[in-house]
């Protein structure tokens, strides 16, 4: 059975913006890993993330600790209980957040894309909404485990692809939360890489693979290099990355 050996995380406002509307949260007690890309502007997107994140964590820990808990929003026998708990926690957070968000003038509304991962033994369940991305590097092969739900899915080419990363779903965007659930069996030696579009949109997949495989093996240095390359190519967005080493 694979075990999480280490992790590295970094979130930054980027080279242009003064407010960071991205965020990362790692809860090793509950094996919960969260990465967010907020929107709404200064004083809005960053506050939205705090509300959404806290609601997810509060509801997830509450229902996962109670074997008799009901799952009011979602249940599928296809997924582990932990994945069902996570999906319900995200739907719950969206419901509470949207109730207040939709009362506001459009100029004051915000929201967030998110990938949340929960680990149960060797199964990592990824619940995603919006434009975040997840890659897995295993034995020299890099695969995309979570494909962003963004305008890129409607584009016909990769020209200036960093303009195609606007989310097609997100917390606070529509009445319904359009979650995508993915279960991955992790193995010893795997690197799981969770990224916001301020990192991946200006990188090619072979470049990402090259950096992840480079020595030294310090994941924090790898994240810094990913940020530096993206910024050197004109990134203006917030940036977040979380690397899980198994």
Tell me the average pLDDT across 163-175.
92
Q: If you write DSSP's letter for every residue of 96-138 in order, what string do you get?
A: HHHHHHTTS-GGG--EEEEEEEEEETTEEEEEEESS-EEEEEE
Longest distance between any two alpha carbons in the chain, whole Å: 52
Note the pLDDT of residue 113.
98
Domains of the chain, by residue range, sit at 6-245
Is pTM beyond 0.85? Reply is yes
- Residue 22 near residue 227, CB atoms below 8 Å: no
Tell me the average pLDDT across 175-185.
96
Note the pLDDT of residue 124.
98
Kindly tell me if the per-residue pLDDT of 181 is higher than 80.
yes
Q: What is the mean pLDDT of the chain?
A: 94
* Consecutive H or E run containing 215: none
Nearest C-alpha neighbor of 53 from the set 36, 39, 65: 36
Map residue 165 onto helix, strand or coil: coil
| CATH superfamily to which 6-245 belongs | PPM-type phosphatase domain (3.60.40.10)
């Amino acid at each position: 059975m694979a075990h999480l050996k280490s992790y590295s995380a970094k979130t930054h406002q980027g080279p242009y913006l003064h407010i960071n509307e991205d965020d990362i949260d790692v809860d090793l007690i509950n094996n919960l890993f969260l990465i967010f890309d907020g929107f709404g502007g200064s004083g809005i997107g960053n506050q939205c993330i705090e509300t959404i994140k806290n609601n997810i964590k509060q509801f997830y820990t509450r229902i996962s600790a109670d074997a008799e808990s009901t799952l009011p929003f979602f249940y599928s026998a296809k997924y582990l209980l932990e994945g069902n708990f996570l999906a319900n926690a995200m739907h719950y957070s969206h419901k509470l957040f949207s109730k207040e968000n939709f009362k506001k003038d459009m100029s004051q509304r915000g929201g967030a894309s998110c990938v949340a991962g929960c680990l149960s033994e060797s199964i990592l369940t990824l619940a995603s909404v919006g434009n975040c991305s997840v890659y897995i590097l295993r034995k020299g092969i890099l695969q995309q485990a979570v494909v962003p739900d963004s305008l890129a899915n409607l584009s016909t080419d990769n020209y200036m692809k960093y303009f195609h990363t606007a989310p097609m779903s997100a917390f606070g965007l529509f009445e319904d939360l359009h979650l995508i659930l993915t279960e991955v069996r992790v193995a010893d030696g795997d690197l799981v890489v969770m990224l916001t579009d301020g990192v991946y949109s200006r990188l090619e997949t072979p470049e990402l693979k090259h950096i992840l495989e480079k020595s030294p093996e310090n994941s924090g240095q790898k994240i810094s290099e990913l940020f530096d390359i993206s910024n050197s190519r004109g990134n203006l967005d917030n940036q977040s990355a979380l690397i899980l080493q198994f």
